């Protein structure tokens, strides 16, 4: 897992990036639905609510879907901008964190009989001076998501492979 500072210098303003990687012993076709279907997130993550506010295309969780994720009533809404099952989910954050232009990409890549999950994101600061704090927070969140889904998938019965 890693986070990086913007290229604009010490002013703490600019584009920030975060990345987390985890490996599951489960194949991609087991891992993907856990990430690609919003209602499944509460099964494997720390969230207590995960659902769709708006449906997408060509499936309810596809491009244009607005997903809501909460813990104790606090959370985010995100719009799916890339839907390429079973390998790539891209989304932008509509609300929930004090950042601008947040974009995340989750890639599921076959790795032997398992799956490598790479979760990466970029954002701009909304409040000057908060870049490093937001990197730490979002790095922790995506790290927990990547390792959480990998660990959960490891415990599921194998399907389809």
**Span 7-49, pLDDT tens digits:** 444 456 679 999 999 999 999 999 999 999 999 999 999 999 9
Question: Could you tell me the residue ranges of all domains in the chain?
Answer: 2-155
Domain range 2-155, CATH class: alpha beta
Length of the chain: 161
Rounded CA-CA distance 142/67 in Å is 16
Q: What is the 3-state secondary structure (H, E, C) of 108-134?
A: EEEECCEEEEEEEEEEEECCCCCHHHH
Q: Which of 109, 115, 110 is nearest to 25 (CA)?
A: 115
**Span 47-68, pLDDT tens digits:** 999 999 999 999 999 999 999 9
State the first-to-last Cα distance of the chain, in angstroms, to the nearest integer: 29
Integer angstrom CA distances of residue 22 from 41, 141, 148, 160: 16, 13, 9, 22
**Reported pTM:** 0.88
pLDDT at 9: 44
Rounded CA-CA distance 110/24 in Å is 10
Rounded CA-CA distance 41/106 in Å is 14
Q: Is 89 helix (H, G, I), strand (E, B) or coil?
A: strand
């Amino acid at each position: 897992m890693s986070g990086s500072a913007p290229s604009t210098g010490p002013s703490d303003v600019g584009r920030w990036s975060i990345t987390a990687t985890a490996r599951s012993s489960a194949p991609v076709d087991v891992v993907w639905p856990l990430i690609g279907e919003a209602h499944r997130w509460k099964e494997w993550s720390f969230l207590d609510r995960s659902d769709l506010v708006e449906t997408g295309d060509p499936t309810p969780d596809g491009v244009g879907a607005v997903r809501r994720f909460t813990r104790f009533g606090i959370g985010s809404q995100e719009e799916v901008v890339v839907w390429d099952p079973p390998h790539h989910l891209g989304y932008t954050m509509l609300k929930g964190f004090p950042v601008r232009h947040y974009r995340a990409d989750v890639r599921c890549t076959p790795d032997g009989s398992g799956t490598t999950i790479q979760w990466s994101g970029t954002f701009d600061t909304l409040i000057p001076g908060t870049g490093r704090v937001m990197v730490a927070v979002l790095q922790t969140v995506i790290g927990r998501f990547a390792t959480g889904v990998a660990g959960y998938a490891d415990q599921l019965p194998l399907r389809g492979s």
